Structure 1
Amino acid sequence: MAKTDEKAGGGLWETVKTIFWALLIAGVFRTLFFQPFWIPSGSMKDTLLIGDFLFVNKMAYGYSRYSCPFGICPFSGRILSSEPERGDVVVFRHPVSNSDYIKRLVGLPGDTVQMREGVLYINGAPVEVEPAGIFKEPYQKQGPMGYYPECENAPVGIGGTCMKGRSVETLPNGVSHDILNITDRGARDTTPVYTVPEGEYFVLGDNRDNSRDSRYAQANGGVGFVPAENLIGRADRIMFSSAGRSLFFIWTWRPDRFFKAIE
């Protein structure tokens, strides 16, 4: 009986050690290399869809205290840092809510940024925009949160086709990406001129009329300027995607988006 108890105790201890080392390795991997991120909203359509799953490259910009889970890294500023590039899709810690956000970085320190009737101006010059057809999706609940999409052709009945105008926007450094538009007369389609402070960045959602980003002050539920310290990493590639309310709904998987590069 004693031997049985001894074996049971030894087996339990081995299990505890295995779990400990697994958690430690996962924590180090998540802190230093890649962090999983699930897209919960439609603010980055059609670059990123609700239900896309990706890994954030945390080596891209170096490390800050937000590189650790719960923001517990014991240092301030950034170490091993490198500058993001205009057009990067970045994940960052919201300066007020402490939630992780994903947007496109369009404004660098010292830039002036403005929207005029839905067109982005950087340092006083409009970016190049070319029409790219219509983005279509079914008007139905999307993802675990059950959001309905916003439509340029509203009102749309359940199961109908929701449409938005799609364009290709080319930033001054040559980075091109899709943007979606519902109206050029929205609350943030024409804005004041924003001057990006030193050490901070200006971000926008690609789904321009359905994104709370740097056009909205933090006091109004927006993002405002994003401090460099708050950058967590760069989104480079979609690993998996599901259009359903659960990843177990195999019939809602989007195989065409598996391992898709993020542009």
Structure 2
Amino acid sequence: MAFDFSAILLGLTVLFGLIWLFDRLFLAKGRRARSENLGEEQPEPWPVDWARSLFPVILVVLLLRSFVAEPFRIPSGSMMPTLDVGDFILVNKFSYGLRMPAFNNKLLENGEPRRGDVVVFRFPGYLCKDDQGNTVRSGDITCQNPHAPVPGENWIKRVIGLPGDRIETRGSELYINGERVGMDEIGPYKGNMNEPEDRLLMTYGSKLYTEHLGSISHTIALTPAYNMPNDIPNALVPSEVPQGCYIVMGDNRMNSTDSRWWGCMPEKNLVGKAFFVWLAWRGPSNGWFDAGRMFRVIH
């Protein structure tokens, strides 16, 4: 079962708020009367005491995480070299409109993703064909069970295609609306051989490039000797991006399970825009922290 911290926070906020409100409306008056009759203060029941103490704290945390910024930890190398495994990032929850905590319903419009933005979103599921030939979203990457539940996971990728764009990929080449996206070679990837993701890139001769997506330039890793993802368009992913959807890809372009595999990312699944790395955890075998990656703005 997926761990949804926002849903837990919302549930605790409602629970503690109701306990506190019930006490104020129905129990507090009788407790005060007993205190006056007995000449000593009557203690609050422990559930009420806990609710009164924790409700304001949890409410503030919920509001900050839901409407201002939320922390996330990078679990995989699909966004290398921009984001590494163990990076802790902050996500701006206000960039693309205010959304209801846990339910993710949009409450207020406030702009849309731009090409090149690094976004966090709820994974929509893999595109599969069911027994009747209908295209469905499944949690099973093999599509052997097209009706497998889609896990409630948060993923992070870079926005490549906007609604209405024509996106084509031909191996390592990317075309947007018929124009090839420019990139400049930087050189071979150099990392720490003690890190599995670094070791994979170096073993397969990965090279770094600066990719130019409109006004945003960023670094990507290309490793054709390791893997060659599906091209777009394919049997399940059309060239033209549907309205209300975005094509997203990882910066580790040959080692990223992204829109080339599961189609466009629906706008309703957006969580926010990643904008800052506040901690780069590497563990005891690699010096604990990578100070060079900490306190960086994400481009």
TM-score greater than 0.5 by the shorter chain: yes
- Identify the residue that residue 26 of structure 1 maps to in structure 2: 61
Indicate how the Cα distance of structure 1 residues 232 and 57 shifts in structure 2: closer, same or farther if over 3 A, else same. same
Indicate how the Cα distance of structure 1 residues 252 and 233 shifts in structure 2: closer, same or farther if over 3 A, else same. same
Letter in 1 for 2:75: P
Quick check: 2:226–2:254 contact (8 Å CA) kept in 1? Answer: no
- Identify the residue that residue 97 of structure 2 maps to in structure 1: 62
- Identify the residue that residue 212 of structure 1 maps to in structure 2: 257
Indicate how the Cα distance of structure 1 residues 239 and 231 shifts in structure 2: closer, same or farther if over 3 A, else same. same
Answer with 9-18 or 110-119: which moved more.
9-18
> What is the rounded CA distance, in whole Å, between the counterparts of 1:85 and 1:169 in structure 2?
15
Question: How big is the alpha-carbon RMSD for the aligned residues of Structure 1 and Structure 2?
Answer: 2.8
> What is the rounded CA distance, in whole Å, between the counterparts of 2:294 and 2:201 in structure 1?
26
* Structure 1 residue 9: Cα displacement: 5.3
* Structure 1 residue 16: Cα displacement: 4.2
- Identify the residue that residue 216 of structure 2 maps to in structure 1: 175
- Identify the residue that residue 241 of structure 2 maps to in structure 1: 196
Quick check: 1:78–1:229 contact (8 Å CA) kept in 2? Answer: no
* Structure 1 residue 138: Cα displacement: 2.4
> What is the rounded CA distance, in whole Å, between the counterparts of 2:107 and 2:209 in structure 1?
36
SS at match of 2:82: coil
1:121 is matched with which residue: 175, 179, 184?
175
- Identify the residue that residue 228 of structure 1 maps to in structure 2: 267
TM-score (norm 1): 0.79
Number of residue pairs aligned between Structure 1 and Structure 2: 233
- Identify the residue that residue 116 of structure 2 maps to in structure 1: 87
> What do residues 28-80 of structure 1 show as CA deviations (whole Å, max 9, x unaligned)?
11111111110000000010011111110010000344xx1xx335x4x5622
* Structure 1 residue 118: Cα displacement: 0.2
- Identify the residue that residue 253 of structure 1 maps to in structure 2: 289
- Identify the residue that residue 136 of structure 1 maps to in structure 2: 190
* Structure 1 residue 225: Cα displacement: 0.5
Indicate how the Cα distance of structure 1 residues 149 and 6 shifts in structure 2: closer, same or farther if over 3 A, else same. farther
Quick check: 2:189–2:201 contact (8 Å CA) kept in 1? Answer: no
- Identify the residue that residue 77 of structure 2 maps to in structure 1: 42
Letter in 2 for 1:34: A
> What is the rounded CA distance, in whole Å, between the counterparts of 2:243 and 2:199 in structure 1?
36
Indicate how the Cα distance of structure 1 residues 250 and 208 shifts in structure 2: closer, same or farther if over 3 A, else same. closer
TM-score (norm 2): 0.70
Quick check: 1:116–1:191 contact (8 Å CA) kept in 2? Answer: yes
- Identify the residue that residue 156 of structure 2 maps to in structure 1: 102
Answer with 55-64 or 179-188: which moved more.
179-188
The structure number with the bigger radius of gyration is: 2
* Structure 1 residue 177: Cα displacement: 0.3
> What is the rounded CA distance, in whole Å, between the counterparts of 1:256 and 1:112 in structure 2?
38
Report sequence identity in percent. Answer: 34
Quick check: 1:89–1:102 contact (8 Å CA) kept in 2? Answer: yes
Quick check: 2:70–2:90 contact (8 Å CA) kept in 1? Answer: yes
Runs of 5+ unmatched residues, structure 1 = 155-162, 218-223
* Structure 1 residue 254: Cα displacement: 1.2
Runs of 5+ unmatched residues, structure 2 = 1-34, 126-149
Letter in 2 for 1:92: F
* Structure 1 residue 190: Cα displacement: 4.0
Letter in 1 for 2:212: T
Indicate how the Cα distance of structure 1 residues 107 and 11 shifts in structure 2: closer, same or farther if over 3 A, else same. same
* Structure 1 residue 110: Cα displacement: 0.6
> What is the rounded CA distance, in whole Å, between the counterparts of 1:139 and 1:194 in structure 2?
38
Quick check: 1:133–1:167 contact (8 Å CA) kept in 2? Answer: yes
Larger % of helix: which? 2
Q: Does residue 1:153 correspond to 2:203, yes or no?
A: yes
